Amino acid sequence: MYIEKFKKRLTDVLFYPKLCKYEDVIENVPQYLELLNRRSINGIDGLVIYIHVPFCNRFCFYCSYFKEPLSHYDYYARKKYFEAICKELRMYKNFEHFKTKKVKAIQFGGGTPSLVEPDFLRMVIQEIKENFNCAECELITMEGNPASLLKDEKLEAFYDIGVQRLSIGVQTFNKELRKKLLIESTVEQIYEVTEKINKIGYRDYSMDLMYNLPGEKVQQVVDDIQEMVKLGPKFIDIYSLNIFPNTKFKEVIDKGNYFKEKPSERKNILMTASVINTFKELKYNQVMSFTYSKEETKAPPHVDYFFNGGSVLGLGPSSRSYLDGVNFRNVPDVKKYMSMIDKGEYPIDCGMLVSKEEQDRKKMVFFPLYLVQDKSELEDIQIYRSTIDRLKELGYISEDDKYLHITEEGKKWTGNIATCFFSQKEKAKHNISFLKSMKENENPYNQDAMGVSMEKRRKWKNDWDCL
C-alpha cells in the first residue's frame, strides 16, 4: 500500500485487533475460555480489572459508550447488578491465567460510576481482594461527573472505600455548548468539585476535554485548556470529537438547525495543532498522544497496562477483556448480561485468539499513542520497514539507533500513522465491521443501539431518551 500525505485526520486507535460480533463469533464459550488455562505468552504479570457501571442520569449527545438510564434501576436493581458483577468476577478466578497475575489497578468506568452508592463499589473491591492477588495493587480509580460527586458526601465516601484517583469529564467550559450537548454538570460544579477533591486528599485526578465541537472556535479550545490548567489536574486528556453514523447526534448535526456550525475537517486539523502548541507554551509534557501533564512524563499505570501488553479483565455489559491474546467483549445489554450471569453463563458477545504476530504488530499500532517505540521490543522490525521508511519520507516519524519517534508534524496525525501499521486482515475486518453495523442500523463503535436515531431502531427494543 502506497501512503500518501495525510489530508483527513483520523481518530486515535485505542483497540487492536478489533472485535467484531459478526466476524468473531464464538460457538462454544467455555471451550474458548479454556485458552486461559494455557501458559502465558508475554510474561507480563500485571492485571487491570475494569468494572463497567452503565448508569447515567442524562445521555450526553456525543457519548457512544454503553449506558442505561439510572431511573430504570431502583436501589434493589442496582444492588442485584453489582452482585452479578461479583459473580462474574468469581467465574474467572480459577483459570490458570489469573493465578500468576498481580492486580495492579482497579478501574470503575461507565456510564457514571459516581452516581451509584459507594457501598456497591466497596462490595466489588472486597470481592476482588478476596479472589485475586492484590498485594501490588497501585491504584483504585473511578470516573465521575461533578454533579453526582457533590451529592450526599459522595467524594468523602468514595475516598473512604479506597478510591485514590478520579477521572472527571469536563469536555468544555463553554456554558452554551454544554447545554446543547446535554452535559449534566455545570461549570460552577467543576470548580466546586476540584476544590473538594484537593481538600479531601485524593492522590491525583485527571480531567477530560473535547474539541472540534459543533460551533466551537479555535480560541475557545485554547481558552478551555488555559482554564483547566488553572484547576491543576495531574493529567489532562483531550480528544477530538467523534461523530458516529446512524446516531441521533449525527442526524441533528446534519440537519443544521440545532447547532449553528458543523464540526469540520479543516477545524479539526487547526485545533489539533493549536492543542499541541498551547500545551507546549504552557510547558506541559505530552505523555501520550491525547494526554498532557505538568509533572509526570509517563501515562497513569492503569492506562499503560492497557496499551502496553498487560492483561485487562473487563466486567459488566459491553466491557472488553485482553488476556494475553484471548480478547473478548461482553454483551451490551444489562438485562441480557444479568440473565446470563444468573444462569452461570459467561456473558460474552464475541471473542478471538490473537496471533503472536498480531500481538507484536499491536506495538506498532499503539506506537503513535506513546509517541516513541523501542525497536528492541519488536520481534522483526523489517516487517514494517517499508511503512517506516515511507512515513519518515513524509516527515511523520523519525528514527535513531534505538527508537522510533513521532515528529512534531506526526503528532497531528497519530490515528493515521497507527492505521498504516494495520495488517491486511485487520483492514478488511474494520471495513466489514463498519459495513455490517451500517446495514444493521447500529452504532459502529460498539455494534449496539447506543445513541442510534429512533428512525433506525427497527430491530432494537429499548428507547433512547436523549432529547
Q: State the Cα–Cα distance between residues 48 and 105, nearest whole angstrom.
A: 5
Do 385 and 397 lie in a common domain?
Answer: yes
Residue 454 binned pLDDT confidence (cut-offs 50, 70, 90) = low
Question: Smallest Cα–Cα separation from 359: which of 10, 36, 83, 43?
Answer: 43
Q: Are 272 and 9 spatial neighbours (Cβ–Cβ below 8 Å)?
A: yes
> Is residue 464 situated within a structural domain?
no
Do 316 and 395 lie in a common domain?
Answer: no
Do 347 and 360 lie in a common domain?
Answer: no
Place of cell 460480533: 21
Q: Are 330 and 349 spatial neighbours (Cβ–Cβ below 8 Å)?
A: yes
- CA-CA distances (angstroms) from residue 17 to 42, 239, 334, 351, 400? 17, 21, 25, 11, 28
Number of domains present in the structure of the chain: 2
Name residue 274's amino acid: S
Question: Smallest Cα–Cα separation from 13: which of 364, 428, 389?
Answer: 364
Do 74 and 103 lie in a common domain?
Answer: yes
> Is residue 22 situated within a structural domain?
no
For residue 211, pLDDT beyond 50: yes
pLDDT value of residue 456:
56
Do 302 and 180 lie in a common domain?
Answer: yes
Average pLDDT estimate for 67-84 = 97
Residue 294 binned pLDDT confidence (cut-offs 50, 70, 90) = very high
> Is residue 45 situated within a structural domain?
yes
Do 33 and 167 lie in a common domain?
Answer: yes
Do 47 and 161 lie in a common domain?
Answer: yes
- List the CATH number of the domain containing 388: 1.10.10.920
Q: State the Cα–Cα distance between residues 345 and 324, nearest whole angstrom.
A: 22
Core vs surface per residue 70-101: b (16+ CB within 10 A) or e: beebeeeebbebbbbbbebbebbeebebbeeb
> What pLDDT digit, counting tens, does each position of 190-203 carry?
999 999 999 999 99
Do 138 and 49 lie in a common domain?
Answer: yes
> Is residue 131 situated within a structural domain?
yes
Name residue 399's beta-bridge partners: 404
Q: State the Cα–Cα distance between residues 433 and 451, nearest whole angstrom.
A: 18
pLDDT value of residue 463:
38
Question: Smallest Cα–Cα separation from 263: which of 244, 279, 280, 277?
Answer: 244
Q: Are strands 311-315 and 46-53 parallel, antiparallel or unpaired?
A: parallel
> Is residue 250 situated within a structural domain?
no
> Is residue 220 situated within a structural domain?
no
Secondary structure, 3-state, the chain: CCCCCCCCCCCCCCCCCCCCCCCCCCCCHHHHHHHHHCCCCCCCCEEEEEEEECEECCCCCCCCCCCEEHHHCCHHHHHHHHHHHHHHHHHHCCCHHHHCCEEEEEEEEECCHHHCCHHHHHHHHHHHHHHCECCCCCEEEEEECHHHHCCCCHHHHHHHCCCCEEEEEEECCCHHHHHHCCCCCCHHHHHHHHHHHHHHCCCEEEEEEEECCCCCCHHHHHHHHHHHHHHCCCEEEEEECCCCCCEHHHHHHHHCCCCCCCCCHHHHHHHHHHHHHHHHHCCCEEEECCEEECCCCCCCHHHHHHHCCCEEEEECCCCEEEECCEEEEECCCHHHHHHHHHCCCCCEEEEEECCHHHHHHHHHHHHHHHCEEEHHHCCCHHHHHHHHHHHHHCCCEEECCCEEEECCCHHHHHHHHHHHCCCHHHHHHHHHHHHHHHHCCCECCCCECCCECHHHCCCCCCCCCCC
Do 411 and 303 lie in a common domain?
Answer: no
For residue 39, pLDDT beyond 80: no
Average pLDDT estimate for 43-50 = 88
Q: State the Cα–Cα distance between residues 232 and 328, nearest whole angstrom.
A: 37
Residue 38 binned pLDDT confidence (cut-offs 50, 70, 90) = confident
The cell numbers describing 199, all together, are 481538600
Name residue 328's beta-bridge partners: 321, 351
Question: Smallest Cα–Cα separation from 114: which of 198, 225, 193?
Answer: 193
Do 65 and 157 lie in a common domain?
Answer: yes
Residue 183 binned pLDDT confidence (cut-offs 50, 70, 90) = very high
Domain boundary among the residues 353, 381, 399 is at 353
Residue 462 binned pLDDT confidence (cut-offs 50, 70, 90) = very low
**Percent of the residues in the chain that have a pLDDT greater than 90, as a whole number:** 90
Place of cell 513524509: 394
Average pLDDT estimate for 331-344 = 97
Do 296 and 332 lie in a common domain?
Answer: yes
Do 343 and 432 lie in a common domain?
Answer: no
> Is residue 251 situated within a structural domain?
no
Domain boundary among the residues 320, 353, 386 is at 353
Average pLDDT estimate for 237-256 = 94
Residue 305 binned pLDDT confidence (cut-offs 50, 70, 90) = confident
Q: State the Cα–Cα distance between residues 333 and 355, nearest whole angstrom.
A: 29
Find the range with the poorest average confidence among 49-53, 254-258, 384-388, 455-459: 455-459
> Is residue 309 situated within a structural domain?
yes
Give the domain extent around 91.
29-189+284-353
